[in-house]
């Protein structure tokens, strides 16, 4: 086996933390990172001294605020959220429904903002949570505007099912993506949980490329897509303009 490099070992310590494991003992970190206790102790000490990790009075480690400070510099993370937040708040005020903002990371969406609405739906998104592109409204909006070759690659891959309504047929997925491009909105109904529907639209950056997607999530039983779709489009257009995008001249 090829020995792991020092950066690999350091990153494996940070990767030991996730939404299901936000607090870990040194032994937990050692086991989850695949490192000896001695190596884990040394790396955890260095990360704690720098501020990437914090140790509470019980001896348990958490992700430190220094990483939050660094993450704030990411153009697709907190910086994008800061630009988008006024428009997300406007969308919430217009609908009083769950509002979310997401970006793409490979074959998944990563949620970078979530405003909780009055409607109780089964899917509870956290900032930083991930879902496959095909199973969410924001994911469909992002995938629909990708390069054709990358769309085909995704459609040909395994399409995980979360409910009986999740799109797992490549032919149907291609049709859905074409409909998103035609209408400017993506509608995902009961794909993650059997009670939720989302309406999403793409957000464009200065050069016109799609950089994010915004959506509202409502109970499927009383969803009014014709009412929600214009509001979502307006929010996406507002964020796009704030990022520097200008619509092509007719």
For 74-243, CATH gives 3.30.450.40
Query: For 58-64, which contacts have Cβ atoms below 8 Å and span 24 or more sequence positions?
Result: 59/25, 59/26, 60/23, 60/24, 60/25, 61/23, 61/24, 61/25, 61/26, 61/29, 62/17, 62/22, 62/23, 63/14, 63/17, 63/22
Q: Among all chains, which residue has been given the structure tokens 């510099």?
A: 73
CATH fold for domain 6-70: Arc Repressor Mutant, subunit A (1.10.10)
- pLDDT at residue 250 tops 60: no
98-102, 126-130, 164-168, 222-226 — which is least confidently predicted? 126-130
Cα distance between residue 103 and residue 211, in whole Å: 7
Q: How many CB atoms lie within 10 A of CB 81?
A: 18
DSSP characters over 153-194: HHHHS----SSTTS---HHHHHHHHHHHHHHS-EEEESSSST
185 against 82, higher pLDDT: 185
Query: pLDDT tier at 124 (50, 70, 90 boundaries)?
Result: low
Q: Where in the chain is the domain with CATH 1.10.10.10?
A: 6-70
Q: Where in the chain is the domain with CATH 3.30.450.40?
A: 74-243
As a whole number, mean pLDDT of residues 103-111 equals 90
């Amino acid at each position: 086996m090829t020995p792991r490099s020092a950066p690999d070992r350091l990153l494996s310590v940070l990767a030991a933390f996730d939404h299901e494991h936000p607090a870990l003992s040194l032994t937990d970190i050692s086991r989850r990172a695949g490192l000896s206790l001695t190596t884990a102790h040394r790396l955890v000490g260095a990360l704690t001294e720098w501020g990437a990790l914090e140790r509470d009075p019980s001896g348990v480690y958490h992700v430190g605020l220094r990483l939050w400070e660094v993450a704030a510099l990411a153009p697709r993370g907190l910086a994008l959220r800061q630009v988008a937040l006024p428009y997300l708040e406007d969308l919430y005020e217009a609908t009083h429904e769950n509002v979310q903002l997401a970006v793409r990371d490979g074959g998944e969406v990563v949620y970078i903002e979530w405003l909780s609405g009055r409607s109780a739906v089964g899917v509870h998104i956290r900032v930083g949570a991930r879902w496959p592109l095909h199973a969410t409204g924001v994911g469909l909006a992002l995938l629909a505007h990708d390069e054709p070759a990358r769309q085909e690659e995704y459609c040909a891959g395994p399409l995980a099912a979360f409910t009986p309504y999740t799109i797992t047929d490549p032919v149907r997925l291609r049709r859905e993506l074409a409909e998103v491009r035609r209408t400017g909105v993506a509608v995902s109904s009961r794909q993650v949980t059997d009670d939720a529907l989302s309406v999403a639209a793409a957000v464009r950056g200065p050069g016109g490329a799609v950089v994010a997607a915004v959506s509202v999530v409502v109970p499927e039983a009383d969803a009014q897509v014709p009412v929600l779709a214009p509001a979502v489009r307006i929010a996406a257009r507002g964020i796009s303009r704030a990022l520097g995008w200008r619509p092509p001249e007719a």
